[in-house]
Every structure is written in C-alpha cells, then in structure tokens.
Amino acid sequence: MESLGLQVKVVTFDADFLALAYVKQTGLEWPLLLDEDQSLYQAYGMSAGSWWAIYNPVSIWNYLKLMATGTRPGKPGKDWRQLGGDVLIDPDGIIQLHYVSTDPHDRPWIKDIFALVETG
C-alpha cells in the first residue's frame, strides 16, 4: 500500500474485546479507529441494514461458504445490523470514492479502488 502512497485506516464502532478479537482474527496491520457513537458511519450515510439485507440468500450463502472452509462467523457486535462501506480520500481531502454497502458482504472490488488511486 505504501508503494501507492496509500494510508489505510479501518473504522469500527465495537470497542473492547470485539475490536481486539477482530485485529487478532484478521491479522490487521493498519490502524483501527473507534467510532463508538457511529457518527462517522452516519456522516457517510452508512445505516443499519434491514432484516432482508442482513439475511438475504447471498449473505447466507457467503456465511455457509465461510463455514465450509472451517471459518466461523465472528461474534456479532453491539449493532449487528450496522452496514459499512469504503471511502477513499485523496491527499487534498477530496472524496474520490464513497461506497455504501447494501449488505454485510457488499464491497467494491480492490482492483477498482487501485485503479482510482493509479489514475488519481
């Protein structure tokens, strides 16, 4: 990431043992920022998902695939319906990508994010 001039930050609203467990489980190498009151999520339009968004067939299929590889789904956080997203901010503070997830597995392709950085 440094070769592209990127600084990656991960934001979560779960503090204490859930945040620590996430870092340990994923081997997270980037700073983990806490947004306990979810104000950053709200500012970027990332809201709670509906029951259908959380438990739709695609989500269930993704959880089943994880379990088939021996990976257990993580313990749900304090707001298990909170959806996330991805935000790419350039060095001038201009938002180049603002992606709001529609379900727990919805993320932009990393190659698309890199393409934005490289053409930036």
The closest of 101, 68, 66 to 85, measured between CA atoms, is 101
Mapping DSSP onto H, E and C, the string for 71-88 reads CCCCCCCCCCCECCEEEE
SS3 for 103? coil
Q: What are the helix (H) ranges across the chain?
A: 16-26, 39-43, 51-55, 57-68, 110-119
CA distances from 90 to 38, 86, 101 (A): 23, 13, 21
Q: Considering just the CA atoms, what is the radius of gyration of the chain in Å? A: 15
The pLDDT score that the predictor gives to residue 6 is 75
The pLDDT score that the predictor gives to residue 98 is 92
The pLDDT score that the predictor gives to residue 77 is 65
Class of domain 2-119: alpha beta
Looking at the DSSP bridge assignments, the partners of residue 87 are: 98
40-72 tens-digit pLDDT? 999 999 998 888 888 889 888 888 888 899 877
Burial (0-12, 13-18, 19+ Cβ within 10 Å), 11: middle
59-108 tens-digit pLDDT? 888 888 888 998 776 666 677 788 889 998 888 888 888 999 998 888 88
Phi, psi (rounded to 5 degrees) for 87: -130, 130
How far apart CA 80 and CA 107 sit, in angstroms, is 17
Q: Is the pLDDT of residue 16 over 80?
A: no
Q: Is the pLDDT of residue 4 over 70?
A: no
The pLDDT score that the predictor gives to residue 119 is 77
Delimit the domains of the chain by residue range: 2-119
The pLDDT score that the predictor gives to residue 17 is 79
The pLDDT score that the predictor gives to residue 76 is 63
